[in-house]
Structure formats: structure tokens, C-alpha cells
Amino acid sequence: MASRKVLVLLLTVFSLHLVKAKTRRSEGSQPNVLFILSDDHGYRDVGYHGSLFATPVIDKLAADGVKLENYYVQPICSPTRSVLMSGRYQIRYGLQHAVLDPMAPSCLPTDEVTLAQKIKEAGYSTHMIGKWHLGFYEEACLPTNRGFDTFLGLLLGGGYHFSHSFPTPKFYDLHRNVEAALEYNGIYSTYVFTNEAIDIINKQDEDKPFFMYLAYQAPHAPLEVPEHYKDPYRSTFEDEDRLNYAAMVSCVDEGIGNVTAALKAKGIYNNTVIIFSSDNGGSVRDGGNNWPLRGSKLSMFEGGMRALGFVHSPLLSDDVKGTVSKELYHVSDWFPTFVEGIAGGNTDGTKPLDGFNQWESIRDGTDSSRTELLHNIDPLWTVAGGRDWVVKESPFNVSINAALRQGDWKIVTGDTGFWGWYAPPDTGIDTINGTTTNEQVTWLYNITADPLEMNDLSDEHPDILMTMLEKLQEYYLNSVPVYYPDTQPLHALPCYNGNNCIWGPWTPK
């Protein structure tokens, strides 16, 4: 009898040892990576930046992680996504002008090795959910041909959130892998994408890490949302756009909470890194706001590019949890950070990356590897003339829309976007108009001391201005020509090309 008790005790101890060993292997394995991208989400428009609408999930995740308060994306949709997927500046592959038009034969060049391809090589399953906006005119451009195992989302840059169509209900755009997902017609896009993320998590093989790119379509216009999300804010916002926008953000916040809960229920939250980012500044024309930063979506001022961002994970050092990082980071950094830093893979076979592996910096609170950031140079976006301030013998054509950050300094040239400070209507503060581009087309700021870009120092520091103009010219000379082909609506529009009124690959002529 005693020997049986001893045997049972030994088996119990052995079983506990196996459980602990399995737990140790799980916690020491490659972490899952969940990258969440919101669409046209303004810098102001989260609770922890002072918005009047609630984002409790985002606020909590950010508060328990590392808030990235010197983190940049591109000033408009598809450029941010192309830089994320390639780890390279737009000037390297010709997409430095505007967004990809669905009726033009263009996409992220297929010879660019993608983040999804490299992290898949490192042993990850790869899933893309939501807005693609990196071109689809040929099948080689589609997400499942760029490294993703699965895709559920829209190919265009926007569309109606219930009918999943654009520009009219006639043209449908929601796909699962390469086929139209017609069964989601009438279901709100944020619900569709949240439920897909949860479903993938629930079915995930626990012995295989995953990379999930969850690119919500909200709060991008058109401003649509289920009515009950508006109820808490009807007495707060008189402006209908702001009301709809607040409700859309609240729905996204709820969705992120549901996805996080799924990670915990699956038992994989402790070995997952969650990254949240906006794709550009909020559009002040469509309910968004970036106060107190200057500018809006499209602009090279901070309101167009300084992004909402945080990293949340139990894998972060205890020293950085609950902190704010002022280190300089850029959306291009996620490529090597995910592949090399988190997945333990390599970036062999890629073209030279502009991003840096920032995992140690974020995880442990060490210095960023980045001291310089080219925001963009767009030679197709120019302004004429200007006052007689122009530096004589300037090495760079300052009529070109461009911006560069070096250390504390930032230069902007040729910006014709939104250049004012746009206070949200709930503050009671009047909009402050900046200097119009008819009077000025170059600006120099100490962005560390003056993040609101209120004090142009181009006259006071001509030496710094000249140095940065020279650097812009160096980047320009090493850029490739812009590739922005004409549209071909008769071949691309889905009701005219044999695609049964469903957006998809088409044959250019």
C-alpha cells in the first residue's frame, strides 16, 4: 500500500515537472506578434491624449506597456503600409507620390521582399485582416502572394463599412484570400475583422507562432457605425462627423478588447507582443483631430505623421512597463524589429532596409538605433514661387514636398497640405491658421523643443538649414523615379472587365 502511494506521488511530481517544462518551452518560444493598425486615427483621438470619447482598452494596454511618443508613420494610407511591408522608404521603389489608385496598374513592387515573407521564413503562420491598399491589378500583388497564409479584407483604400463596396454599392470589395466574401455584405467591417482575428486565434496551433496584421478600416470615412455606439456621445458632440467618428473609434476599441480577451482565453497572451499604430494623422475634414499638433492627414507637419503608438506585452522588461518612450521610431523599423528582434529570424535576401531592429530599445528602454528619418520626397507634389526667402544656391529644390528629421531638427519644404492647428470643437479653442504656402515654402524646427512647430528657425540657423537641404538632395539623388501611371477605368472597373462587379485583378492595356 505504501509503495502504491509512493508511486502515485512520483507520477504526480513527474506530471507537474512535464507541465512546468511545457510552460517554460512555451514562454521561451518565439512570441506571437499582433500588429493592429487603425485608419485615419488622429493623434488627439484616444483617451490618454485627452479625447472626450472613451478608449478604455487602448488606454489600459498603452498604460501597461510602452507608449511611443516620438513615433512616425507616413502622412497618408498606402505609403505607410508599403513602408511597413518593405521596411524601406517610399523613394526606394517609386511609391513616393499619393496613394495607390485601384484603376492604375501599380502595386508594391513584387521584387520587394515583404515583412510577411521573412517572418514566415522564421517559422510563423501569417494572417492579414482588413485594409490592404497596396495594389491588386495583377494576382502577384495580392496579400496571399506577398507572404500571407490567409487574407480577409478589402483591397482598396476605403469603402462603405456595411456594404463593403466603393464607390457605389455596385462595386464589391471584401475578399477571403482571392475570392469575394459576399456573405459579409451588411455586416459592419470592424465586426468582420475582429471576429476573423478571434477565429484565427481560437484555431491557432499552440506549437506554431503567428504574425497577425489586423488593419482596421475605421475610423476612415465614410463615417458609418452601428447606431448604439453613438448613444454615449450624443450630448457631447454637436458636430455629426465628430459624433460618428467617436463612435467608430469606440467600436474599434471594443474590438481590440475582444481580440485581447481571445488571446488570454487561448492561453497565449503571455507569449504575445501587441503593437498598436495609426496609419497617418486624422483627417480634420472627416471628424478626426490631431490637436495640439500642427496639421492633418496629408501634411508633412507633425499632425500628419506623428502617430499613435504603443507596445504591450508581458515580455517587456518590468522597468519599461507603464512608461512613455521619447526615443525616435519609424514605421519602417517594424520589419527588422519583428523579424530579427522578436522572431529571431534574419533579413537576408531583402534589399537594403531603412528600418532598424528596435526590439531591445523598446523591450528594455535603451536608446533607439535611429537618429535620422526621411519622411518623404515627392517630386510630383510641388508648389510655385514663394516669397524671396529662398536660400540662394540651395542644393535642393524647395518647391518639392519633402521633410527630413535629423536629431532634434526637422525641415519641411513645399508643403501644400494642412498647415494650421485644428482644435477639436469640444475644446472651445479657435483654429489657428499657420503661414500659407503662398508666403512660405520651407520651415525649420527644433522639434524636440517645439513639437507643435510654432517657431520657424530657418532664418536664425541658416547653417543647419543648409546642412539639411544638402541631406535632402543626397536622398533625392539616390531615389528612384516616381511610378504613378495613368488610370485605366475601362479595364479596371469591375462591372466592365468581366469581374462581375467585384474588385480584383485586371489586365492593363
Cβ(295)–Cβ(230) below 8 Å: no
Distances (CA, A) of 33 to 28, 147, 306, 434, 488: 14, 15, 23, 40, 38
Phi, psi (deg, nearest 5) at residue 470: -65, -40
- 133 a catalytic residue: yes
Phi, psi (deg, nearest 5) at residue 215: -105, 90
32-38 and 66-68: which strand pairing?
Answer: unpaired
Specify the residue for cell string 505623421. 305
Cβ(329)–Cβ(68) below 8 Å: yes
- 77 a catalytic residue: yes
Specify the residue for cell string 500642427. 294
Cβ(293)–Cβ(306) below 8 Å: yes
CA dist 84 and 334 (Å) reads 7
What does R_g of the chain's alpha carbons equal in angstroms?
24
CA dist 416 and 98 (Å) reads 13
Q: Name the catalytic one among 77, 107, 141, 251.
A: 77
Number of residues assigned to the chain: 509
CA dist 300 and 254 (Å) reads 31
Distances (CA, A) of 470 to 26, 233, 352, 407, 466: 50, 50, 22, 16, 6
Centre a 10 Å sphere on the Cβ of residue 498 and count the other Cβ atoms it contains: 8
Burial 369-397 (b: 16+ CB within 10 A, else e): bbeebbbbbbbebebeebeeeeeeebbbb
Q: Name the catalytic one among 41, 133, 161, 330.
A: 133
**For the purposes of burial, counting CB atoms within 10 Å of the CB of 175, is it exposed (0-12), middle (13-18) or buried (19 or more)?**
buried
**Percent helix, strand and coil across the chain, each to the nearest 5:** 35, 15, 50
Terminal alpha carbon distance of the chain: 86
**Residues identified as active-site:** 77, 133
